[in-house]
Amino acid sequence: MTTSSAAATFTALQVMQDAPVIPVIVLHDVAHAVPMARALVAGGIRMLEVTLRTPQALACMEAIAKEVPDAVVGAGTVRSPADAAAAAKAGARFAVSPGYTSTVGQACRDHGLSLLPGVASGSEIMMAQEDGYTELKFFPAMQAGGPAMLKAWSGPFFDVRFCPTGGVTATNAHDFLSLPNVACVGGSWLVPADALAQGDWARIVALAREATQLPR
């Protein structure tokens, strides 16, 4: 990654190529946001997907954007134009969606957010490609066919790069990362709920560091 200024924008491909894993983060307490982000950055992971699944998510993004300049905060679980607008206002610089609609894509473009649209079928890939997306999240990856599905897609969708997410773990990440059409994986294992609850930031540093060592 060559860009490091806080104001920089990142393409979806840059977001995917920064590290082997994008952490999928669920935060219930704003007080956890900054130390957690610092721990991930200390372990070598700076593209952080904070999911819009809790009432605290937007405030957490804001805190990270303001106080952890080496992190690049993104919004996960973006399901509507309103989600995209709120995420951009909170300081998110990229978005990840569990599925894809053209209106969500347009809202992300309007707000300057690069988007990793979620797909689970050939038709969904084609819809996202029609709107110009070539970097896609495969979700839910394990449940929807795992590495075998990505191998099958590599024929007709030879020009698409994927970030499989959903059921990916430290143990099976390599099965995905070794595929030529996989740029990175997403997963929640880097930020375990019990580590957050206990304030065990050292564990999150260690999990991040291990993730950066995954070959791809």
Facing residues of 115 across strands? Answer: 95
CA 177 from chain centre, in angstroms, equals: 15
97 near ligand 3PG (CB under 6 A)? no
The most distant pair of C-alpha atoms in the chain lies apart, rounded to whole Å, by: 46
196 near ligand 3PG (CB under 6 A)? no
CB 179, min distance to ligand 3PG, A: 18
Closest CA to 176 of 204, 215, 208, 206: 215
Closer residue to ligand 3PG in complex, CB, 65/142: 142
Considering only residues 167, 174, 179, 216, which one is a binding residue for ligand 3PG as defined by CB under 6 A? 167
Is 72 within 8 Å of 10 (Cβ atoms)? yes
Rg for the chain, CA atoms, rounded:
16
- Amino acid letter at 15? V
87 near ligand 3PG (CB under 6 A)? no
Considering only residues 24, 61, 65, 78, which one is a binding residue for ligand 3PG as defined by CB under 6 A? 24
Catalytic-residue membership of 124 = no
Closer residue to ligand 3PG in complex, CB, 43/118: 118
Residues of the shown chain interacting with ligand 3PG in the complex, contacts defined by CB under 6 A = 24, 139-140, 165-168, 187-188
